[in-house]
Amino acid sequence: MTAPTLVIGNKNYSSWSLRAWLFLHASGVNFEERRVPLDTPTFKATMAELSPTGCVPVLLDGTARVWEALAICEYMNDKHTLAGWPTEEGARAMALAICHEMHAGFAALREELPMNCRARRTGVNPSAAARRDLDRVMAIWEGCRSRCAENGAFLFGAFGIADAMYAPVVLRCITYGVELSARASGYAAALLAHPSLQAWIAAARAEPEVIGHEERGSEVSA
């Protein structure tokens, strides 16, 4: 069986690519990776051939194509019987809900604090809407950790799809210096230490492309 190919954007910038990649990589499932850098003259034409939405990420699995990061996680979770969801019913319900909430929501947070793994930014003041988004994310992390703290360091104990979905928010908090509660900070540290996320960040730091107004000089080591 040929391994599926996950098509992703720049590791430094593409938060949706990170979500799908992180779950697959952390789960140990076999997949190839193809990087299509964003914001280049050929991006649009290349992606138009790979995905009906023209966006990254997309998974090419034989004749099947799966787009939308959460759909990719669920597809691979089901196909390979991975441990993406908690087994306990109430925790599983919460995990499904917060993953879909992340997938469809937090527009202000995503707009104002774009992912930029390797950068550190000061002086970014979130709007009231982005602040509400951040407060809601903190409430989610607190709620999950207070419920599942005895089972492990991640949102529902063991690493799962929910952690993949919120990983870019952890990276944004670091990039923009968002103040975290003790519990949220502990979660962020645990996720940041995950070998798969570390591998992603290392690759992001090695990428040559710079998009927009990023000043490479402002970067510090993670």
Chain positions contacting its own copies, by CB under 8 A? 52-53, 61-68, 70-71, 74-75, 78-79, 89-90, 92-94, 96-97, 99-101, 103-104, 136, 139-140, 143
Name residue 105's amino acid.
G
Nearer Cβ to its own copies (71/192): 71
Q: Alpha-carbon distance 136 to 153, whole Å?
A: 20
Over the Cα atoms of the chain, what is R_g?
Answer: 17
Smallest separation, CB 174 to its own copies (Å): 24
Smallest separation, CB 93 to its own copies (Å): 4
Give bridge partners of residue 67 from the DSSP assignment.
58
Cα–Cα separations (whole angstroms), residue 52 to 48, 64, 75, 105, 174: 6, 12, 17, 22, 33
Nearer Cβ to its own copies (69/174): 69
Smallest separation, CB 5 to its own copies (Å): 14
Nearer Cβ to its own copies (74/197): 74
User: Taking a C-beta distance cutoff of 8 angstroms, is the pair 11, 18 a contact?
Assistant: yes
Nearer Cβ to its own copies (97/124): 97
